[in-house]
Amino acid sequence: MKTSGNASRVAPLHERVAALGYTLSTSERTVAEFMADHPEVVVSCSAIELGARTGTSDATVVRAAKALGYQGFRDLKRSMIEVLARQRDLAATMDDRLARVAAGSDQVLRVLDDTIGLLAQLRRSLDPEAWQRAVGALAAAPSVMTFGIGPAASLADYLCLSLKRIGVPARGSGLTGFRLADDLLALRADDAVVVFAPIRQFREISVIVRHARAVGAQVVLVTESLGMALAPQVHAVLATPQSTTTAASEITGGLVLAHALTLSVASAARDTAVEALRLVNQLRAEVVGDELDVTPLPPLD
């Protein structure tokens, strides 16, 4: 598999690992899976540094790169840098995705296959310690703020609504520019902030992280490319797999994690969560004054 030329027209690294992993030694597979799961780390490391991070050696790193079809580790890094650069370009990302769902093929099956692959990668790469820190921060917080820009704003809104329905005081924001300052005024010590930032570190994200640290709030970052840059400044990083080299949506990983966070927080206060949802049902019935559904289910015999 040659990697020169247009990075969008060659098999992505995670697909090479899935296809060729069985041919690798145990140590080579360890390196290969780490590289597929942490592209933003790999592009900043030498072979020696990557060997140290994976408990192997620089020679193992080079062998793994060659076994995956690259000319060497430098060639693999060059390919990954090209991919990371293209993922910030909306047109390039769409072009890459359209290349994967070529005309005449069954596009929905490709999307489903890529989504299944992304979720399998998320399951393998999820950091259990970071997950426990994230759940602990939300469960203990007197109030939770969620934030996202663009498509990520829908994730922030979804998590905010889900938390409110289980009795957690939460508010969502997708404001940009100077209007964001008003939303940050209410942030207090011990609050939790969940930031969905898949790819770009907008100025708003930097300001949220700095202000949260200043007031003593804990930040949980859900991202596929900013973990290395922001990890020292946040309480927990929940890393999602690279999505822009696939036909899967970039919000898939964040959506699954938002749902899992809600369930984990609810399980820590089950009675409160269930009672809050009972109240939601009661208030809905009072507002509507009749059946919620136009075609209600038939009564039981």
- H/E stretch holding 113: helix 107-125
pTM of the model: 0.76
For 25-43, what is the mean pLDDT?
Answer: 86
**Ordered DSSP codes for 204-229:** HHHHHHHHHHHHT-EEEEEESS-HHH
Query: Which residue in 167, 191, 192, 163 sits closest to 259, CA to CA?
Result: 163
Tokens 């899992």 sit on residue: 260
Protein fold of 1-86: Arc Repressor Mutant, subunit A (1.10.10)
CATH architecture of the domain 128-287 equals 3-Layer(aba) Sandwich (3.40)
Residues 6+ apart with CB under 8 A from 201: 226, 229, 230
- The amino acid present at 43, given as its one-letter code, is V
216-257 residue pLDDT tens = 999 999 998 788 778 899 999 998 988 777 888 889 999 999
> Is the pLDDT assigned to residue 35 strictly greater than 90?
no
CB 255 within 8 A of CB 158: yes
Instruction: Please list the helix, strand and coil fractions of the chain in percent, rounded to the nearest 5, in that order.
Output: 60, 10, 30
Query: Do 272 and 165 touch, CB atoms closer than 8 A?
Result: no
Position 105 pLDDT exceeds 70 = no
Task: Spell out the domain ranges in the chain.
Answer: 1-86, 128-287
How is residue 217 written in tokens? 């709030």
211: pLDDT strictly greater than 70: yes
261, 159 contact by CB (below 8 A): yes
What CA dihedral angle connects 116, 122, 124 and 125, to 10 degrees?
A: 150
